[in-house]
Amino acid sequence: MPHLFTGARDTHSDPRALPRGTKLGQYKVERVLGRGGFGFTYLATSKERDGTVSKMAIKELFPDGVDRGSNQEIYPINKAEAEMFEDARNRFHAEAVALKKCVHPNIVRILDYFSWNNTGYIIMAYEEGEQLGKYLKKAFPNGGAPQEWILDIIYPLLDGLSHAHNQGVFHRDIKPANIFLTANNRPVLLDFGAAKQLNQSHRHRRGHNSMLVVTEGYGPYEQYTYEGMIGAWTDLYAMGAVIHTMMVGRCPPSAYEREYKAQGGRDSYERLSKRSALRQIYSQDFLAAVDWALERDITRRPQSNELWRSRLPQSRKLATTVVPDSRTILQKVTLPITKLLTGRLTDYTRSTGTTMAGTAMTGPGIGMGMTGPGMTGPGELPPPVPNPAGRSLVVGLIVLGAAIVLGSIILLIVETY
């Protein structure tokens, strides 16, 4: 089911918002859910053919620099704002187009888009929950959110972000206010109004006729300049800033400030991995991964979600439900063969009277006196004798060698992915 955000409070006190009962085609405005930089979000209802009433959220483009007339139409307040408003409408439409391509449980999904009242409207399904930013202010105002809880939020968001990036869509405005936690704790990326659709190279230089879109503390330096290169590293910087807020209780210094001070030889960002207080709460690998995402230079940041994800600690959910233990897999492959060969060797020694020195089991259940892809130990096997047990031993050793190779391949694959 498509999803979007809650209406925890009614902000219909803003006189510029659409009045209750306003009809937008088949949709009826019930109340205001929130007000952001892009405009208003309303709770609306629609009566279906069978008589049932459905709820949805409607996002109305109403940026700064515009006003509403008595006929509900929106107009820019001056000529300069008219150009900005036109650009905002184009980006708003681009958001709808981008989200249509990104169908994923951790990305807000649109149901409809249309123009009305000289502006744009995006229709999304309604779901109870809360913005991450509001939740953090209540639950962790000074930071210190548990590592497992953070990872349980970040990993699904990275799944959604990877899906968007594979579609050539980059968010460019990830922050706690644009992350929604549903009633069943599913994190969802909201507000792709700043999203950019890029070519297959996943690199883009913005022209001077487009608006600079950046949120202080969450946007990297490339978003402060028209010549900035936009890519996966841009969204990963913002993801690192979100984690920084969860850990510390505030976002990092603005990238613009960092760049300015770095010219004097000092970056104003204090690395998380250097803070002794944080090392008592979070693993060193986790802190270092966040520092990596927050590098000023785009060439020093992770270049893909997958690369950054490989440096993050594994969440408890993934450890128990997604990624099996590689040694367990290897044992399951080789242990039955080992047991079979142990029996064959017992038959061999009984039939020949030979004792086997150095046949103790070593390693994770994969062999007799084996420390690598061969046999070691003080004892050597005698020449084969013409009896069934000897022939079985030769066949068994061949099978064991094949099992070790197969097990090694499986181990490599599992630990890689």
Q: 338-361 pLDDT, tens per residue?
A: 444 444 434 434 444 443 333 333
Both structure tokens of 135: 């939740």
Q: What is the dihedral of CA 407, 409, 414, 417, to 10 degrees?
A: 180
Residues 32 and 52 in one domain: yes
Tell me, yes or no, whether 312 and 170 share the same domain.
yes
The domain boundary residue, chosen from 83, 105, 125: 125
Q: Give pLDDT, residue 219.
A: 94
Write phi, then psi, for 367 (nearest 5 degrees): 150, 170
Same structural domain, 91 and 158: no
Q: What gap in Å lies between CA 29 and CA 46, rounded to an integer? A: 9
Which pLDDT score, from 0 to 100, does residue 59 have? Answer: 93
Show the low-confidence residues of the chain (pLDDT under 50). Answer: 1-11, 197-210, 319-389, 414, 416
Domain boundary among 303, 320, 337: 320
Q: Give the pLDDT confidence score for residue 369 in this predicted structure.
A: 31
Inside any domain, residue 358: yes
In a domain, 90, yes or no: yes
Domain span at residue 282?
129-320
What is the per-residue DSSP string for 242-274? HHHHHHHSSPPPPHHHHHHHHTTT--SPPPGGG
What pLDDT does residue 109 have?
81
Residue 380 domain-assigned? yes
Q: Mark whether 368 and 402 lie in a shared domain.
A: yes
Q: Which amino acid is at 198?
A: L
Domain count, the chain: 3
- Does residue 51 belong to any structural domain of this protein? yes
Burial annotation 105-122 (CB, 10 A radius, 16+ → b, else e):
bbbbbbeebeeebbbbbb
Domain check: are 279 and 409 in the same one? no
pLDDT attached to residue 16 = 92
Residue 12, domain member (yes or no): no
- Exposed, middle or buried by CB within 10 Å (0-12, 13-18, 19+), for 355? exposed
Asked if 232 and 340 sit in the same domain, the reply is no
Closest CA to 167 of 191, 193, 199, 189: 199
Beta bridge partners of 56: 44, 125
- Tell whether 261 and 144 lie within a shared domain: yes
Q: Same domain, yes or no, for 300 and 339?
A: no
Does residue 3 form part of some domain? Answer: no
- Is there a single domain that holds both residue 213 and residue 311? yes
Q: What are phi and psi of 258, to 5 degrees?
A: -60, -45
Q: Could you tell me the CATH number of the domain that includes residue 98? A: 3.30.200.20
Is 8 contained in some domain? no
Is the distance from CB of 287 to CB of 279 less than 8 angstroms?
yes
* Residue 146 within any structural domain of the chain: yes
Same domain, 175 and 279: yes
Let me know whether 78 and 219 are in one domain: no
Which of 99, 125, 151 represents a domain boundary (last residue)?
Answer: 125
Contact 401, 393 (CB under 8 A): no
Q: Are residues 153 and 280 in the same domain?
A: yes
- What pLDDT is stored for residue 376 in this prediction? 36
* d(C-alpha 33, C-alpha 20), whole Å: 12
